[in-house]
Chain A
Amino acid sequence: MLAEILEIRDSGLAAAAQADSDEALEQVRIQYLGRKGRFSTLTPRLPLLPPEERPRVGELINESKRAIEEAVAARSAQLARERLERLGDTEAIDVTFPGTPPALGRLHVLTLVQREIETVMETLGYHVEIGPDVETDWYNFEALNLPVGHASRDMQDTFFMNASEELLLRTHTSPMQIRAMERLKTPPIYAAIPGRTFRRDATDPSHLSQFMQVEALAIDEGITVGDLKGTILYFAQSLWGADRRIRIRPSFFPYTEPSFEFDLSCGVCGGEGCRTCGGDGWLEVGGCGMIHPNVLRNGGIDPERYSGFAWGFGIERIAMLKYDVDDIRLFYENDLRFLEQFA
């Protein structure tokens, strides 16, 4: 019987060593160690042996089973190792296959630009003020030093509302200068004012009758033209890069004195002059100036003690410069093929 045991053990060890899959190995385990396995057929014969041989034979059977168990485990571990080693071949995928992104919408490009502008201004300690689109003549014109019948009103062709002669669609975000002064009362006032504005202009690739502006307003003691320049420069460099420059050119707005247009150095030619900037190296961005003493007075602020600046521009214009968009109308046509280009 000993020889028989050894023969079963050896064939079991050999079978385990040769098993080439987890399934084959499991078969080996069942065949030798299972309830009806080959060793189990030996156990009933033990009582037939002489009592003094029984422990030895029993011991040998147990040792043999342990040996096969160990061989099966070793082979199983080896198979697992081999499987891991071959994983690169067996489970390779085409990693160049196009991705399949989960469905996701996008924010409108003007939202993205507006947020970027507001973030820069908030970094400087400005807060965002929001005001009505349907304004009164007082806030939109009169309080901003644009008296009735004055020729300067022609600079801003206006939509009037049927509800009342006093009501109009604001032609700029500047009415919020007065409203901000009224609300906050005492300087320092540092506010950024985004919003829709309306001008009764014909629509073409660079003009819209409905568009968005952002205005920055600073009122404090000792505010200078230098502060205005510095703030615009900080803003321009934050939005377009530290190598950009700005310049201010004298201009006229009734609500600022002195008044300026501000230009950004062309990003294509670096200010040398090219087709993008029309040859002079500068791109027009917006208007600005030192708040007119009458405007401060109309907002309830003493112009002898405080001074301030305001500057504003079209958000669409900034988006056009930033993303190289050549037709302003695209922003409101909402062609998804256009909107899906921005994130």
Chain B
Amino acid sequence: MRVSYQWLCELAGVNDVPPDRGAQVLTMAGWNVESVTLLDLSEIRVGGVISLEPHPTSRNPLWVYQVDLGNETRQIIAGVDNAVPGSLVPVALPGTTVPNGAVVRDLKIAGVAGQGMLCAADELLLGDDHSGIMLLDEGEPGQPLDELIPSDAVLDVEVTPNRPDCLSHLGLARELAAALGRSLPGDFMPPFTGGIEPPGTELVKVDIEAPDLCRRYIGAVISGVTVGASPRWLQRRLRLCGVRPISNVVDVTNYVALEYGQPLHAFDLERLEGKRIIVRRARSSERLLCLDGEDRTLTPEMLVIADAERPVALAGIIGGEESAVTDSTTEILLEAANFDGVNVRATSRAIRLRTEASSRFEKGLSPELALAGARRAATLLSQVAGGQVHVGWADEYPRPQEPVRVHFRPEQIDAILGVHVPLEEMEAILQRLGFQVRVQDGDWDVLPPVFRLDVTMRADVAEEVGRIYGYDKVPPTLPGRRRTRWVPAAPSVERRLDSVRHALAGSGLTEVLTQALVDGSLLDRMGLGEGMLQVVNPVSEGQDSLRTSLLPSLLEVAAANRNRGRAAVFVFEIGRVYLRRPAEPEGQPAEPQRLAALRSGLATASGGRSAFLELKGALERTIDSLAPLKLTYERSSSPLFHPGRCARVLLQGRQLGYLGELHPTVLEMVDLEGRAAALEIDLEPVLAADPTRRARPLPRFPAVNRDLAVVVAERVEAASLQATIESAAGELLESARAFDEYRGGQLPPGCKSVAFALTFRTQERTLTDPEVDAVVQRIKTALAERHGATFRE
């Protein structure tokens, strides 16, 4: 909210606190001041125009003014001629910074010297008029302008949604005064003077048909109004707060909203059919031409102000064009009402229109505020629009606001804050904020001011005391006492995943983090759309679905890095994917923790095979970092992967995911050239496995190593050869591992040679060569029988 500091200080009775200090005090009391804009008029002087004549030589339309500044005369060049001899104008001399930020300099145009600037209203931030030099109504040449128009500062204050009472200068003035240790002069409820007959209640009849949505409706009749421009001081304050002046009647309603926080509306009483006000729900497909020029179709959820015939305003949001105050209006109905915040918010969202009024009502205002606003506006209207206020206002208030009392003992406040606040100080703080305090035997009973609907319990009072007392006076402490219960320390999932990250980083992969919301259409094209959840209201199409796989994102990372000159990446990500549960499609989805890795930028088929094996090795190292587990692999197929180079990864027979080279069409979808290998597995079963490790005794006898080159047909897989070797060898075989694959040379076509490293050992003695030879012979026989293998020496 934009606040005039001068206005604020006037209401707060403060005149000795500069704006920067005031901003700091407000911030530490909970009113974050985001910016302070100084409007210093003390350097601007009143000038009296002596004469003006066109610039003698310039081809541009320029005028040379002689201006009286009291004790001197200055020659000043201007681009307009609306000031005439005798006009009083604001003058900025060279070296002055005018409020809009411009610095005035000596200048010379086509041989004619200028020594200053005649200011337009917008340059002084006194209006938005830039069409001519600002003409002053009063003043003496040479007089500082701020003697006529006070200097000011605009504070941009962040008002939290629990305090709509402070969307007002009066509310913030009370806060400023309280934080400075002072009290606000004057009562919250303004006096009301005047009143002519007949009573307003005889001139207009008000009914609330929807008391659940309208808690109070005050209608004051003011007659004899002359609609015209507001006085300059009023216009200036509105402008400083970012509100455009329209006419005295409208300006007063806006002014009082800024002062008290109560939105108001003025109807032209003569344009209200039947001189009736009915607050009711809109009828289906009723229409209202609103003040912003939009013709809106209403629905029965919306609350309207209607006359005898039709809606004339959308309650708490915007007025109607057909009942609006015009230049010829003489009799007005001033509305000060209270509408339900939830309903105003819903309607405002439905029609996508948020106004000064709706943004106040939606936070929930006190119905007591309506009377204060009506009184203040009535007084002002009689002052600035010549209106006469009728006695006897319509005031429909079916359920008056109940007073809320909060009981506590002061030590309970201390116990929340962690500091002892002296009792006198606690009482003084609450009183400065408008609370009534009753103390009896150490029990306190406080009554918050009527406009404070947010204070209902002890913690609320603690907040009031704390923020004015000053949280800087609360000593920092660490909680700690003798505990009788605790949660034993155990490595968190994140700590356990760190071992995965380290194993992968140690294998040369770099960790990336991609977003959970992704482009659903890409997942669909990659065949990953099953079980996908979508966002109803995405910010962009590229982020409209929750990912069901990490791999598309990794591919995009590879493509993005390729675009920046990095042809190959070797990356991994650990993160969740989101899968609708088939048994409960409307419930929260499963969010399994996945690991994915990608090696991109491989030029050849053999490069692809190496990358596959590298990822496989890294995966095994990674799984081992979590628990001593053994993975198995089966040839498989998946839409993402190369049909001949894809394996299912299994843990104890349960599928964890896939490992393979990516399918060329998938790479094409993200515009990646070359080959890429990738894996994606579920980490949950691995995390759930028993991580316990037990030390094995070291062997006491040496091993015997043999290499065996097995020549078999292409289609025979290493895993089945290994299984045959293990079952044929018996106990003496400690390990068998394929380490090389060879084709061509003297091998028959369609055949390959797989080299195994065999290690034999027993715990009882040193093995002899003949013993080992016998086992190797058994292995060979079995391989020959089962796989048609031959052997290379």
Report A's interface with B, CB cutoff 8 A.
Answer: 103-108, 110-111, 114-115, 118, 122, 124-125, 127-128, 130, 132-136, 148-152, 154-155, 159-164, 166-167, 169, 184, 186-188, 190, 194, 196, 198, 200-203, 209-210, 218, 220-227, 229-234, 247-252, 254, 257-261, 290, 292-293, 307, 331-337, 339-340
Contacts and interface: CB of A to CB of B under 8 A. Distances in A.
B512 A339 contact: yes
Contact of A149 (B345, B416, B467, B576): B345
Contacts of A334: 512-514, 557, 560-561, 571
Interface in B267-312: none
Contacts of B474: 224-226, 229
B477 A227 contact: yes
A110 B511 CA distance: 10
B39 interface: no
B489 A152 contact: no
A176 B415 CA distance: 26
Is the contact region of chain A dominated by helix, strand, or loop, or is it mixed? mixed
Interface stretch (B74-82, B144-152, B584-592, B781-789): B584-592
A131 B771 CA distance: 59
Contact of B511 (A108, A227, A307, A335): A108
Interface in B334-356: 341-342, 345-346
Contacts of B333: none
A128 B492 contact: yes
Contact of A152 (B161, B543, B571): B161
Contacts of A149: 342, 345-346
B110 interface: no
A105 B514 contact: no
Contacts of B29: 250
Nearest to B468: A250
26 contacts: A103-B508, A105-B504, A106-B510, A114-B494, A118-B495, A130-B493, A149-B342, A151-B345, A151-B362, A159-B536, A161-B534, A166-B586, A184-B487, A186-B485, A187-B485, A198-B516, A229-B477, A230-B477, A230-B478, A247-B472, A252-B162, A258-B416, A258-B463, A261-B32, A293-B459, A337-B564
Nearest to B486: A188
B536 A162 contact: yes
A339 B588 contact: no
B41 interface: no
B417 A226 contact: yes
Nearest to A309: B479
B755 interface: no
Contacts of A155: 161
Given A106-B505, A163-B587, A336-B569, 10 more contacts: A105-B507, A115-B494, A133-B591, A161-B536, A163-B585, A169-B516, A203-B539, A209-B517, A252-B163, A336-B571
A266 to B, nearest CB: 16
A254 B474 CA distance: 23
A252 B29 CA distance: 12
Interface of B: 27-30, 32, 160-163, 341-342, 345-346, 362-364, 415-419, 457, 459-460, 462-463, 466-467, 471-472, 474-479, 481, 483, 485-487, 489-490, 492-495, 498, 501-502, 504-517, 533-539, 543, 546, 557, 560-561, 564, 566, 569-572, 576, 578, 580, 585-589, 591
Contacts of B557: 334
Contacts of A108: 511-513
Contact of A133 (B419, B495, B576): B576
A-B CB proximity, top 7 nearest: A226-B418, A224-B418, A250-B30, A252-B160, A258-B463, A149-B342, A230-B476
Given A115-B494, A115-B498, A222 B415 contact: yes
A151 to B, nearest CB: 5
A224 B416 CA distance: 5
B501 A107 contact: yes
Given A105-B511, A257-B460, A227 B471 contact: no
A250 B460 CA distance: 12
B467 A105 contact: no
Contact of A332 (B163, B514, B569): B514
B515 A332 contact: yes
Contacts of A190: 487
B560 A111 contact: no
A249 B27 contact: yes
Contacts of B160: 251-252
Contacts of B462: 257-258, 290
Given A149-B346, A151-B364, A200-B537, A227 B479 contact: yes
Contacts of B418: 224-227, 229
B1 to A, nearest CB: 14
A226 B477 contact: yes
Among B28, B161, B462, the most chain A Cβ lie within 10 Å of the Cβ of: B161
A114 B163 CA distance: 35
A251 B128 CA distance: 34
Among A258, A332, A335, the most chain B Cβ lie within 10 Å of the Cβ of: A258
Given A163-B533, A186-B485, A127 B492 contact: yes
Nearest to A252: B160
B342 A227 contact: no
A169 B536 CA distance: 11
Nearest to A114: B494
Contact of B533 (A134, A210, A221): A134
Given A154-B161, A225-B418, A332-B514, A127 B489 contact: yes
B459 to A, nearest CB: 4
A332 B481 CA distance: 42
Given A128-B492, A151-B362, A107 B588 contact: no
A190 B543 CA distance: 35
A234 to B, nearest CB: 6
Given A105-B570, A249-B27, A331 B513 contact: yes
A335 to B, nearest CB: 6
B543 A209 contact: yes
A338 to B, nearest CB: 10
A288 to B, nearest CB: 11
Contacts of A248: 471
B586 A163 contact: yes
Contact of A251 (B30, B466, B498, B504): B30
Contacts of A196: 516, 576
B709 to A, nearest CB: 31
Contacts of B546: 134, 161, 169
Nearest to A187: B485
A260 B533 contact: no
Contact of B494 (A128, A162, A257): A128
Contacts of B487: 127, 184, 190
Contact of A104 (B342, B345, B508): B508
A136 B588 contact: yes
B534 A162 contact: yes
A253 to B, nearest CB: 9
Contacts of A104: 505-506, 508
Nearest to A162: B534
Contacts of A232: 476
A136 B472 CA distance: 38
Contacts of B32: 249, 251, 261
Given A188-B485, A222-B415, A210 B471 contact: no
B457 A293 contact: yes
Contact of B505 (A107, A221, A223, A335): A107
B492 A160 contact: no
Contacts of A136: 588
A299 to B, nearest CB: 16
A340 B32 CA distance: 38
B494 A258 contact: no
A198 B517 contact: yes
B537 A160 contact: yes
Contacts of B564: 335, 337
Contacts of A252: 30, 160-163
B511 A162 contact: no
Contacts of B460: 257
